[in-house]
């Protein structure tokens, strides 16, 4: 910001902008002009935004297409391609010819469109925002078309139908592709030839799948949490019991030997003489005393 110096009044500020440089045309190849058109579009958008702030006239500050050309390239291009002198060429003539080159197939050689989109068109499944994911998918499709000069191939009714076909063919995940194809077959026939209708259908089904995915993820998480809480509840519900001492095996081990000892003692007791005197002995003693 700048301000007026040498005054005692309030500062007068004025915005300072970095210069917006226009892209140059140094080659008329298909790739170079595709990139130039993309850069030129960004240049014009930035310049218009600045003009709205500063109040400048856009046409007065914007660099013309003629001035964007390399001077020697412009002379040759006008002489051979447009059949006019560079001094007589108009902006409209240059824009029309550039658009023709960009929208035409390079070298008039049509590539294998099916293989091209199979190789380069991908859906960013790592994008969590479903709407942004589908928008980016369409953007990538348009970028492939412009970079390969296929604009004319996707114009008109047949072109729109072919565009929808290519968009459907590379949908991911596979479950989304199956859902969209089934809806087109039975309930949403217009989506097969209307890219806007197809976009709404893809967005609807992609949101359904996203909700299913989140619900299943939540159910798995809840089941895992319940599985962790159950062992804890069982452990806290059980009362602590005193450990019972191991049984004294000494008595059980001594039992058989003691029983055998008792049996032997009882047998020995039976073999001893009875405590009372034997009758025969008493009879012998009586005869001896007579």
* Under 8 Å between Cβ of 68 and 75: no
Query: To 10 degrees, what angle do helices 195-237 and 156-169 make?
Result: 20
Domain boundaries, the chain: 30-103, 113-211
**Which region, left, alpha or beta, applies to residue 39 given φ > 0 means left and ψ of -120 to 50 means alpha?**
alpha
Q: What is the pLDDT of residue 107?
A: 80
Distances (CA, A) of 188 to 164, 182, 184, 185: 13, 9, 4, 7
pTM of the model: 0.66
Local confidence band at 25 (pLDDT 50, 70, 90 cut-offs)? very high
Give 91's contacts (C-beta < 8 A, 6+ positions apart).
64, 65, 66
- Taking all residues of the chain, what is their mean pLDDT, rounded to a whole number? 82
Angle at 213 between CA 127 and CA 230, to 5 degrees: 125
Q: Would the pLDDT of 62 be above 70?
A: yes
Alpha helices for 121-194 (secondary structure H): 130-147, 156-169, 174-186
74-78, 204-208, 216-220, 254-258: the lowest-pLDDT one? 254-258
69-83, 192-206, 209-223: the lowest-pLDDT one? 209-223
Closest CA to 128 of 32, 211, 239: 211
86-106: pLDDT as tens digits: 999 999 999 999 999 998 888
Q: How far does Cα 183 stand from its chain's mean position?
A: 24
Question: From the CB of residue 269, how many other CB atoms can be counted at a distance below 10 Å?
Answer: 8
Q: How far apart are CA 141 and CA 125, in angstroms?
A: 16
């Amino acid at each position: 910001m700048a301000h007026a110096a040498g005054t005692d009044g309030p500062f007068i500020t004025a915005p300072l902008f970095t210069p917006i440089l226009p892209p140059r045309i140094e080659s008329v190849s298909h790739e170079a002009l595709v990139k130039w058109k993309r850069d030129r579009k960004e240049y014009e958008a930035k310049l218009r935004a600045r003009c709205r702030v500063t109040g400048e006239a856009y046409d007065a500050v914007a660099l013309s297409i003629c001035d964007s050309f390399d001077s020697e390239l412009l002379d040759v291009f006008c002489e051979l391609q447009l059949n006019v002198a560079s001094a007589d060429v108009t902006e409209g003539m240059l824009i029309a010819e550039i658009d023709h080159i960009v929208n035409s197939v390079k070298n008039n050689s049509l590539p294998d469109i099916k293989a091209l989109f199979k190789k380069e068109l991908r859906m960013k499944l790592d994008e969590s925002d479903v709407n942004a994911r589908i928008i980016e998918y369409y953007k990538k499709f348009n970028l492939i078309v412009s970079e390969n000069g296929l604009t004319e191939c996707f114009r008109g009714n047949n072109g729109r139908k072919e565009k929808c076909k290519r968009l459907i063919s590379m949908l991911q995940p596979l479950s989304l592709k199956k859902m969209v194809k089934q809806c087109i077959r039975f309930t949403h026939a217009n989506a097969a030839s209307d890219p806007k209708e197809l976009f709404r259908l893809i967005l609807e089904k992609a949101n359904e799948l996203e909700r299913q995915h989140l619900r299943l993820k939540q159910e798995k998480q809840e089941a895992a949490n319940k599985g962790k809480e159950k062992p804890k509840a069982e452990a806290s519900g059980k009362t602590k019991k005193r450990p019972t001492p191991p049984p004294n095996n000494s008595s059980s081990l001594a039992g058989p030997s003691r029983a055998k000892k008792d049996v032997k003692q009882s047998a020995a007791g039976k073999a001893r003489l009875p405590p009372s005197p034997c009758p025969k002995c008493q009879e012998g003693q009586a005869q001896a005393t007579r």
